[in-house]
Structure 1
């Protein structure tokens, strides 16, 4: 385990990494399903903090593996077996999503993390033993992970009144570990192109969850009442949203991460993108239920469960892609304008109907995409 070459050409995701990603499909679907049920019952205020906390646990587990694999993926027998152990931990974490979301009980999630962290610390200690040049950072990662994990275990016995305070403190500690480990000395040998690709592939996985959730809701609605005009508009609008957001993300030159600071901003910013895209799937399910009068929400409330995640994704993509000079972001004002139109359509749902509002959102994001692509073409032509 000497460390991969950070300048390696054609560095792509391995079959093991792709298999590892698939285990997170289960956890993400569980979190999105819980969010859908809570929103449909009108428990928005209570649902959002729980969803944000649960999704952080899912996302951070994926981030830890992804960055280590970018630097030290040897793909030998010990590495594969330890990755298998981490996958088992992900499944345990997924089993704990419901109690964590509904009751704030993170006991099962913490057990899943312990399983994953045992494997992760073993990997870092192996890297420290076999790669002298990266020993300092590897040891700091191992120590940081152990200390913060001990904090999560101790949190299980803290008073309920301190639950959110301790959660925020431990989240801050988790996010600080990579910065502390990497900035103190020689950085690990992560591959900029590989990291960018891994985040892109996970974005596709989360978009796939949106499509899968929408399909389940449509199938249920059609089996009960047939295909109505409102239902059809939501389906078309949802597909436009998914495809337009995908196009906004995957446009232009490949993402380059020239330094660790940019890489961390890019990586941490994707928490917002991943969580909001998964929430979009839950929102589309709520909108489909409202169109069939199965949700305990007003038309405006149902439409906003779609509009708000879309706005968050647009703003986050605008910030991150301007940071890296990629994506279909011709101008920040175009992205901001599209986000405002989407939000306005959400508030206008009582007049437009839920179906009309969601279809309008899809058309608005598609128009935002077209305007940004036109701005990019004009800028490129002027530069030439």
Structure 2
């Protein structure tokens, strides 16, 4: 485990990394499903809080493995077995998601999270032993991760108001570990192109989960009451939203991660991107429930359940793509305009109908994308 060349040509995702991602889809699916149930039952505040907490654990464990694998993927037997242990950990975490939402019991989630993190500590210790040039950085990673995991375990006994306070403090500590570990000595030899590709692949996987969740909800609505005009419009609008957001993400080439600071901002910002895209599926399911009168949620509230994830994804992607010189951001004002039109359509749900509002959101995002592409081509002369 000597560290891979950060300038290596044709560095692509491995079959093991793709299999690893698929186990995380289970956890993402569980979090999105529980958010959908919370929205449908009218428990918006508690649902969003639980979703943000669970999704952080899922995203952060995925991100840490991805960056480590970009630098130290030896693909030998010990590496594969430790990766398998991390995959087992995420499945344990996924099994604990319902209790985290419904009972505020994070014990199984923390158990799965710690399993994943212990496996990663072992990987960093191996890197420290076998790669003298990166030993200091590897040891700082191992130590930082270990200390924070002790904090997560201790938090299970945090009383009352200390539970949310300690959660925020531990999240800050988690985010600080890479910055601290990389700030002294040799920087880990992660591959910029490989990391950008891995994030893009996970984006596709999350969007695929949105399509699957929406299809399941449409199928259920058809089985119960047949195919109504509202269901058709929501399904069509949801498909346009997914396609337009996919195009927005991948237009204009891969992100250019020129330095560690840019890479960290870009990488951390994807928490909001991934969480928003997965939440879009929950919002579309809640909208279908509301259209069929199966939810304790008004049609206007269901419209906002679709609109807010879309607005979050548009704005965050706009910032990250401007930062890295990628994507379809021809002008920042166009992104802002699109982000204003989408919630305005949600507010107009009583006049447009829920189906019309969701379809309008899809068309608004598509129009924003088209306008940005035109502006980008004029600016670059393409």
Which residue in 1 is equivalent to 2:119? Answer: 119
> Residue 47 of structure 1: CA displacement?
1.1
Q: Which residue of the partner structure matches residue 256 of structure 1? A: 256
Secondary structure of residue in 2 paired with 1:223: helix
Indicate the residue corresponding to 1:132 in structure 2. Answer: 132
User: What SS does structure 2 have at the residue aligned with 1:187?
Assistant: coil
2:347 corresponds to 1:338: no
Q: Which residue does 1:90 correspond to in 2? A: 90
Please say if 1:265 is aligned against 2:265: yes
SS in structure 1 at match of 2:161: helix
Q: Distance in 2 between matches of 1:103 and 1:330?
A: 46
Q: What SS does structure 1 have at the residue aligned with 2:313?
A: helix
Distance 2:109 2:179 in 1: 24
Deviation for aligned residue 1:46: 1.6
Render the CA deviation track for 1:276-302: whole Å, top value 9, x for unaligned. Answer: 000000000011111111111111101
Q: Supply the distance in 2 between the matched residues of 1:254 and 1:166 (Cα, whole angstroms).
A: 37
Pairing 1:202–2:202 present = yes
Q: Which residue of 2 aligns with 1:369?
A: 369
Q: Do structure 1's residue 21 and structure 2's residue 21 form an aligned pair?
A: yes
What whole-Å deviation, never above 9, does each CA across 1:52-95 have from its counterpart, x for those lacking one? 00100110110111111001000001000110011000100101
* 1:176 shift after superposition: 0.3
Q: CA deviation at 1:38?
A: 0.5
The answer to whether residue 239 in structure 2 is matched with residue 239 in structure 1 is yes
| CA deviation profile, 1:131-190 (whole Å, cap 9, x unmatched) | 000000000000001000000011111213210000000000000000000011211110
Deviates more, 1:201-210 or 1:96-105: 96-105
**Bigger shift: 349-358 or 95-104?**
95-104
Aligned ranges for residues 174-253 of structure 1 at < 5 Å? 174-253=174-253
Match of 2:63 in 1: 63
Distance 1:41 1:110 in 2: 26
Deviation at 1:39, TM superposition (A): 0.4
The aligned counterpart of 1:379 is: 379
Q: CA deviation at 1:259?
A: 0.2
Counterparts of 1:280-319 in structure 2, within 5 Å, are 280-319=280-319
Distance in 2 between residues matched to 1:293 and 1:5, nearest whole Å: 56
Matches within 5 A, 1:92-111: 92-111=92-111
**In structure 2, what is the Cα distance between the partners aligned to 1:218 and 1:253?**
34
Cα deviation for residue 102 of structure 1 reads 2.2
Equivalences for residues 47-62 of structure 1 within 5 A:
47-62=47-62
Paired residues for 1:310-329 under 5 Å: 310-329=310-329
Cα separation, 1, equivalents of 2:164 and 2:135 = 35
The normalised TM-score by structure 2 is 0.99
TM-score of the aligned structures, taking structure 1 as reference length: 0.98
Distance 1:178 1:379 in 2: 36
CA shift at 1:325, angstroms? 1.0
Is it true that 1:3 corresponds to 2:3 in the alignment? yes
**1:223: how far off?**
0.5
1:352 paired to 2:355: no
RMSD (CA atoms): 0.8
In structure 2, distance between residues paired with 1:160 and 1:104: 12
| Distance of 1:109 and 1:254 partners within structure 2 | 33
